[in-house]
C-alpha cells in the first residue's frame, strides 16, 4: 500500500476507522519549526461531528505527538501523531459483513488487498482526522510567511453561499466557524436540506470553495509539479472529493478570451491582475493573486435506503442498508481537511525553497 505524499516533507497516513487509532507521520521537517498544539486542536474541532447534521459517533480526538517534537519545536526527526479511537463499534458491521456498500471503497479495497473490514478501515472519513493534524501542525509556519487559507461551503444540496468578497476579511471570519458559510441564511437552508435527506435515509453532497492569500509569486513548477497538480493531488486524496477546479474552472469552456483573461496592472510597485479567473495560477506557477479553487464532494455513500449490491464472499446478488453511524453529509466536516491538506502542500513548497 502506498499512502505517502509530498516532496520535501513526506506525509504518511495509517490506522483504521474501527481499529485502535488513526494517525500520520511527517518526515523531512527541519529542526526548529514551532508546533502549536492549540492549532491542531482547533482544526480537529472544526472537523469533529456535532448535532443532527453529522454522524452520532463521538471521538474526542485526543491526539498524541509521539515523536519529532521537543519543547514545542520540531527536533528534525520523524513526527508521529496518533489519534486514539475511543468510540469505535466494529460489531455494528457484523450483519452486513461481505456486502459491499455501493460507491464506498469496500469492493475496490477487497479486490486490491483482500479480506473484509469493519467499516471503511483506512478509507474511512475517520482517517482525515490524521490529515487535519498534519496540516494543522504546519499552519503556524505558513502564517509566519504571511499565507492564510480559508474554505467556505459554497453549496450543499443546491443551496449556494455568497461568493468570497474581501478575501482577508472573509478568511478571518471563516477561521472560527464550525459550519463555514459566509451567508447565515444560506447556511440554515443547507442544514435543513441535510436533515430532510437524513429523514429519508438518504444523503447529500456539495462544493467547498477555498482561497489562499499571501502566497509569494513563483511557487510551483511547469508541467508535473504545477501548483494545480500538487494541490489537486492532495485534494483528491480526501475520501469523497470527486472534482477539483481552479479559478473559473469548467466555466472557462463557455467564455471568450476577452472575458476570461485577467488584465495586469501595477499597484504600488506590485504586479496584480484586475480579475482573477485564473485562480492565482498561470503556467502552474502562483502569480501572487489569491489562489482560488473548489472541491466537489459526493453525497455520503453509506445510506439507510436499501441498495443493490453483491456479497463479496459468495459472489451473490444482495441488498444492503447502512450499518454503523454515518454522516448524512460530510461537506461541512471536510472543510477542515481541505484547509489542512492545502497547508501541507504549501508548506512543502515553501520548505523546498
| Residues contributing to the site for ligand FMN (CB under 6 A) | 55, 104-105, 120, 123-125, 128, 238-240, 298, 300-302, 326-327, 330, 333-334, 337
CB 215 within 8 A of CB 346: yes
Spatial separation of the C-alpha atoms in residues 76 and 144, rounded to whole Å: 19
Question: Which of 141, 264, 155 has the alpha carbon at shortest distance from 209?
Answer: 155
Q: How far apart are CA 270 and CA 262, in angstroms?
A: 15
Shortest CB 247 distance to ligand FMN, Å: 23
For the bound state, the minimum distance from the C-beta of residue 325 to ligand FMN, rounded and expressed in Å, comes to 7
Minimum distance of ligand FMN from residue 53's CB (angstroms): 12
Residue 216: φ, ψ to 5°: -70, 140
CA dist., res. 158 & res. 254, Å (int): 21
The minimum distance between CB 231 and ligand FMN, in angstroms, equals 16
Count CB atoms within 10 A of the CB of residue 69: 20
Pairwise CA distance, residues 187 & 166, whole Å: 19
- Give 81 or 129: the residue with its C-beta nearer to ligand FMN: 129
Which H or E element spans position 120?
A: none
Q: Residue 143, class by beta-carbon neighbours within 10 Å (0-12 exposed, 13-18 middle, 19+ buried)?
A: middle
Shortest Å, Cβ 263 to ligand FMN? 38
Which of 35, 303 has the CB closer to ligand FMN? 303
Q: Which is nearer to ligand FMN, 150 or 328 (CB)?
A: 328
Would you say 125 or 280 has its CB closer to ligand FMN? 125
Between the CA of residue 136 and those of 93, 149, 280, 313, what are the distances in Å? Answer: 32, 11, 23, 40
Burial 241-265 (b: 16+ CB within 10 A, else e): beebbbbbeeeeeeeeeeebebeee
Give min distance, CB of 126 to ligand FMN, in A: 7
The residue number with the shortest CB distance to ligand FMN is 125
Residue 136 CA to residue 342 CA, distance in Å, equals: 10
CB of 181 to ligand FMN, least distance (A): 17
Q: In terms of CB distance, is 53 or 334 closer to ligand FMN? A: 334
Amino acid at each position: 500500500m502506498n499512502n505517502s505524499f509530498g516532496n520535501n516533507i513526506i506525509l504518511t497516513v495509517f490506522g483504521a476507522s474501527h481499529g485502535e487509532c488513526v494517525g500520520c507521520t511527517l518526515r523531512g521537517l527541519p529542526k526548529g519549526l514551532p508546533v502549536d498544539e492549540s492549532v491542531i486542536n482547533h482544526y480537529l474541532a472544526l472537523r469533529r461531528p456535532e448535532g443532527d447534521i453529522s454522524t452520532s459517533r463521538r471521538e474526542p480526538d485526543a491526539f498524541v505527538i509521539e515523536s519529532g517534537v521537543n519543547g514545542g519545536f520540531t527536533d528534525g526527526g520523524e513526527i508521529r501523531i496518533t489519534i486514539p479511537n475511543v468510540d469505535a463499534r466494529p460489531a455494528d458491521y457484523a450483519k452486513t459483513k461481505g456486502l459491499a456498500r455501493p460507491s464506498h471503497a469496500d469492493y475496490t479495497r477487497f479486490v486490491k488487498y483482500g479480506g473484509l473490514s469493519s467499516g471503511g478501515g483506512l478509507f474511512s472519513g475517520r482517517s482525515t482526522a490524521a490529515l487535519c493534524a498534519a496540516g494543522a501542525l504546519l499552519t503556524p509556519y505558513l502564517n509566519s510567511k504571511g499565507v492564510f487559507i480559508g474554505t467556505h461551503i459554497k453549496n450543499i444540496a443546491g443551496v449556494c453561499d455568497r461568493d468570497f468578497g474581501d478575501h482577508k476579511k472573509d478568511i478571518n471570519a471563516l477561521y472560527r466557524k464550525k459550519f463555514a458559510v459566509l451567508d447565515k441564511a444560506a447556511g440554515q437552508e443547507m442544514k435543513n436540506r441535510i436533515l430532510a435527506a437524513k429523514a429519508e435515509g438518504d444523503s447529500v453532497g456539495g462544493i467547498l470553495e477555498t482561497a489562499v492569500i499571501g502566497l509569494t509569486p513563483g511557487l510551483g513548477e511547469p508541467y508535473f509539479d504545477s501548483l494545480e497538480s500538487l494541490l489537486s493531488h492532495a485534494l483528491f486524496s480526501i475520501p469523497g472529493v470527486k472534482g477539483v477546479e481552479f479559478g473559473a474552472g469548467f466555466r472557462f469552456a463557455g467564455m471568450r478570451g476577452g472575458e476570461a483573461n485577467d488584465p495586469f496592472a501595477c499597484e504600488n510597485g506590485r504586479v496584480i491582475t484586475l480579475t482573477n479567473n485564473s485562480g492565482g495560477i498561470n503556467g502552474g506557477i502562483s502569480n501572487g493573486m489569491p489562489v482560488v479553487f473548489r472541491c466537489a464532494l459526493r453525497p455520503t455513500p453509506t445510506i439507510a435506503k436499501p441498495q443493490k449490491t453483491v456479497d463479496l464472499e459468495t459472489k451473490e446478488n444482495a441488498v444492503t442498508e447502512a450499518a454503523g453511524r454515518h454522516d448524512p453529509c460530510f461537506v461541512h466536516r471536510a472543510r477542515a481537511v481541505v484547509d489542512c491538506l492545502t497547508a501541507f502542500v504549501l508548506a512543502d513548497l515553501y520548505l523546498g525553497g
